Amino acid sequence: MDGNGRWATQRGLPRTAGHIEGAKAVRATVETAARADVTTLTLYAFSSANWARPPAEIAALMRLFGQYLFTETRRCVEQSIRINVIGRRDRLSENLLRSIEQSERSSAAGSGMLLRIAVDYSSQHSIVQAARRAGPDADLTTEAFHRLLHEVDHCAYPTSEVDLLIRTGNERRLSDFLLWECAFAELHFSDCLWPDFDDQRFRCALEDYGGRQRRYGGLAADTR
């Protein structure tokens, strides 16, 4: 979800205004994904690298995240959407942790889409922690390591590998996001800034994905 700050700067507004508009785009994207029968939607809300931003901006982002959980959890419950926050939790405030746990408990019975929100998330950190948890003598399979990653990241529900990764803001990099899970992901890059990522752009990304051939290293069916 890139481009909130740039969106605000282009309009002569403080960066926090862009984050507020970005939160509105989150609601629209979640609802569009649920209507499109997406099974799991993961949003990269705050990376571990984002701690390098100015303290005032970090504080505003954390407040906004807490407010989002407070206002949107009921909507998610009504739509049978489960909420799961992944990433480190040892550096979050006690108030935010309570909000996260409350949202996860309240929505746990949902049978529809899984909404995962990555906060203080670093895929490299998760991989290292999972490897440490396995130990030097572990005889690991990819499935077993995937389960270890879920434990490290506080994944409350089993999820498969990423099918489609969408990046906004005219960026062309993964930025430490779900590196293990994105091994065979299809990538879609959008020039628009996140606050402008609307229903039409999301559906275009889904249509783009639907037209691709996923071969997983093999050959397309018509060339065998």
Those residues whose C-beta lies under 8 Å from the C-beta of residue 93, and which sit 6 or more positions away, are: 62
Check residue 224 and give its pLDDT. 55
Q: Please indicate whether residue 2 is annotated as part of the active site.
A: yes
With respect to CATH, is domain 4-210 assigned 3.40.1180.10?
yes
Is the pLDDT at 90 greater than 80? The verdict is yes
The Cα–Cα gap between 18 and 22 comes to: 6
Q: 41 falls in which pLDDT band (50, 70, 90)?
A: very high
Amino acid at site 152: V
Check residue 158 and give its pLDDT. 83
Give the tens place of pLDDT for each residue, 162-179. Answer: 999 999 998 899 999 999
Q: 220 falls in which pLDDT band (50, 70, 90)?
A: low
Lowest mean pLDDT among 47-51, 86-90, 125-129, 143-147: 143-147
Output the pTM of the full model: 0.92
Which sequence spans correspond to the domains of the chain? 4-210
Give the tens place of pLDDT for each residue, 96-111. Answer: 999 999 999 999 999 9
Q: Mean pLDDT over residues 32-49, rounded?
A: 96
Q: 136 falls in which pLDDT band (50, 70, 90)?
A: confident
Check residue 75 and give its pLDDT. 94
The CA-CA-CA angle for residues 52, 58, 60, to 5°, reads 160
The Cα–Cα gap between 41 and 55 comes to: 29
Helix (H, G, I), strand (E, B) or coil at 179: coil
Q: Mean pLDDT over residues 40-47, rounded?
A: 96
Is the pLDDT at 31 greater than 80? The verdict is yes
Q: Please indicate whether residue 95 is annotated as part of the active site.
A: no
Check residue 221 and give its pLDDT. 58
Report the interhelical angle of 142-152 vs 123-134 (nearest 10°).
110
**Mean residue pLDDT across the chain:** 92
Catalytic residue among 4, 37, 50, 199: 50
Is the pLDDT at 131 greater than 70? The verdict is yes
Catalytic residue among 2, 4, 84, 153: 2
